[in-house]
């Protein structure tokens, strides 16, 4: 079975404040509160069907960029910037398989993020959240789990298009 071709036609972001029940310490940082971002992606399949998918993640300060010079708010803004840039790139990418879309924008997105001082982890954050929402939308349209999508290669994983960042962003971030 071949992977379906699809087009990303809309991406929306929503946030809510989250206060952790207990402090979470990692490295030199202690997280007590942070925004959680939700991504809603709308896709259109080649057969005309449209559907929505979602993903969510914390905007965790000092997790993706550990620079002590940056405030938590600056870390949050880095991640928001990555999401916005990824949305722009993915919406302009045209029609392809889920993996094909991700692989097409991966290199240019990382280059654009690097040009404004965002590291590779921050750049991957934005792409990964949108990739996950696209995968969710496809799974909902086909009424199958992410595991079935991967098993049947309905995502269109293709070694010819593979980069380490694309695999980490699409597959690694999806199956946690």
Summarised one tens digit per residue, pLDDT across range 117-128 is: 999 999 999 999
CA 43 to chain CA centroid, Å, is 14
Query: What is the C-alpha separation between 75 and 165, in angstroms, rounded?
Result: 21
Domain 6-172, second-level architecture: 2-Layer Sandwich (3.30)
Q: Where are the domains positioned within the chain?
A: 6-172
Q: Is 48 left (phi over 0), alpha (psi -120 to 50) or beta?
A: left
pLDDT in tens, 132-155: 999 999 999 999 999 999 999 999
Instruction: Express as a percent the part of the chain with pLDDT over 70.
Output: 90
Q: Which pLDDT score, from 0 to 100, does residue 173 have? A: 46
Mean of all residue pLDDT scores within the chain: 91
Cα separation, 96 vs 46, whole angstroms: 9
- The answer to whether the Cα torsion of 169, 172, 175, 176 is positive or negative is negative
| 34-52 mean pLDDT | 97
Cα–Cα distances (Å) from 62 to 8, 29, 169, in that order, read 30, 7, 19
Q: How confident is the model at residue 103 (pLDDT cuts 50, 70, 90)?
A: very high
């Amino acid at each position: 079975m071949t992977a379906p071709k699809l087009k990303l036609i809309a991406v929306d972001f929503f946030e809510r404040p989250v206060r952790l029940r207990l402090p979470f310490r990692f490295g030199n940082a202690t997280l007590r509160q942070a925004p959680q971002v939700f991504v809603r992606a709308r896709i259109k399949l080649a057969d005309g069907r449209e559907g929505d998918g979602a993903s969510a993640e914390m905007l965790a300060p000092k997790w993706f960029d550990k620079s002590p010079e940056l405030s938590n708010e600056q870390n949050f803004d880095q991640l928001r910037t990555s999401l916005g840039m990824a949305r722009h790139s993915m919406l302009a990418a045209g029609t392809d398989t889920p993996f094909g879309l991700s692989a097409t924008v991966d290199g240019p997105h990382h280059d654009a993020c690097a040009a404004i001082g965002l590291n590779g982890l921050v750049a991957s954050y934005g792409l990964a959240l949108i990739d996950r929402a696209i995968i969710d939308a496809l799974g909902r349209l086909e009424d199958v789990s992410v595991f079935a999508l991967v098993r049947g290669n309905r995502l269109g994983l293709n070694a010819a298009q593979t980069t380490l960042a694309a695999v980490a962003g699409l597959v690694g971030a999806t199956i946690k």
